[in-house]
């Protein structure tokens, strides 16, 4: 490592440490300098303003319409084909299998990052922050401000959010989802059963000590089921479309 890089690293470190609003808590970020030192990024203070801004940021991230954007890349208006929904299932049906999987992953990331990663940026983050950011991201997906609050059903984003705060329960929920879809080819039925399985699995594994998280899982499950109410009617009538293999 050259002396100039070492000097630059030391200057950056001293500057950051000298800022009165920064204090002494940092997280590692960037590339290594000589002597094992790194550029360090200041953690966000847990002031009410900063926490509120993080929750708002989580909503805006959740409101990014990945499915709609992916479909537009293929020249398809997702709101005018299939179910008209902007979620991964409609992408899978109307755009293609690979694109649907991509939409699912991106929508899941929208839930995982706010629930798991955003609290890591905060100095002494309150225990409720990950849950609040995750739920807000799901709300952003379901009611995006960019689309006049007409969004998806929140399954993928909820799965990502739960992976960040309740990984064991969401693992069981994903297993229920996968088995149901493989056996029936109904994504909607898999989503509904997974929404039931996650809170049940969480209570079975951890009890009800964390009542806030347990309540949130139940509310989210009910929300997912409610967003699938038209699918439930079609399932009962025998008119719900099954997924088919697409390229």
Q: Are residues 16 and 90 in the same domain?
A: no
Q: Are residues 17 and 52 in the same domain?
A: no
The pLDDT tens digits for 65-106 are 999 999 999 999 999 998 888 989 899 889 998 999 999 999
pLDDT at 3: 54
Residues 140 and 172 both lie in one domain: yes
pLDDT by residue (tens digit) across 19-63? 444 444 444 444 444 444 444 445 677 788 989 999 999 999 999
Same domain, 107 and 137: yes
195 shares its domain with 215: yes
Q: Are residues 14 and 111 in the same domain?
A: no
Examine the domain organization and report whether 175 and 211 are in the same domain: yes
CA–CA distance, 12 with 32 (Å, rounded to integer): 12
What is the per-residue pLDDT for 212? 87
Q: Give this prediction's pTM.
A: 0.69
Range of the domain at 201: 48-237
**Residues 90, 94: Cα–Cα separation, whole Å:** 6
More confident residue, 226 or 7: 226
Total domains in the chain come to 2
End-to-end Cα, the chain, rounded Å: 49
pLDDT digits (tens, 9 = 90+) for 142-173: 999 999 998 988 889 988 998 998 899 989 99
129-142 helix and 97-112 helix, angle to the nearest 10 degrees: 140
Four-residue CA torsion sign, 111, 113, 115, 118:
negative
Paired tokens of 142: 């379901």
- The reply to whether 96 falls in a domain is yes
Of residues 46 and 201, more confidence is placed in 201
Same domain, 148 and 199: yes
């Amino acid at each position: 490592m050259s002396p100039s890089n070492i000097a630059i690293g030391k200057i950056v470190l001293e500057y950051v440490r000298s800022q009165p609003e920064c204090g002494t808590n940092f997280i590692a970020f960037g590339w290594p300098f000589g002597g094992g030192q790194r550029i360090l990024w200041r953690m966000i203070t847990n002031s009410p303003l900063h926490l509120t801004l993080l929750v708002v940021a989580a909503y805006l991230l959740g409101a990014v319409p990945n499915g709609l954007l992916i479909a537009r890349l293929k020249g398809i208006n997702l709101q005018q084909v299939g179910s008209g929904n902007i979620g991964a299932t409609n992408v899978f049906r109307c755009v293609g299998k690979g694109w649907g999987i991509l939409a699912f992953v991106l929508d899941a990331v929208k839930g995982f990052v706010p629930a798991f990663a955003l609290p890591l940026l905060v100095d002494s983050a309150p225990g409720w922050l990950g849950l609040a950011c995750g739920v807000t991201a799901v709300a952003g997906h379901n009611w995006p401000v960019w689309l006049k609050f007409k969004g998806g059903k929140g399954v993928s984003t909820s799965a990502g959010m739960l992976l960040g705060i309740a990984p064991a329960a969401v693992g069981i929920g994903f297993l229920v989802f996968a088995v149901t879809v493989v056996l029936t080819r109904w994504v909607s039925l898999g989503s509904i059963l997974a929404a039931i399985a996650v809170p049940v699995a969480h209570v079975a594994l951890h009890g009800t000590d964390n009542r806030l998280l347990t309540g949130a899982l139940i509310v989210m499950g009910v929300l997912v089921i409610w967003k699938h109410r038209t699918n439930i009617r079609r399932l009962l009538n025998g008119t719900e479309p099954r997924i088919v293999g697409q390229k």
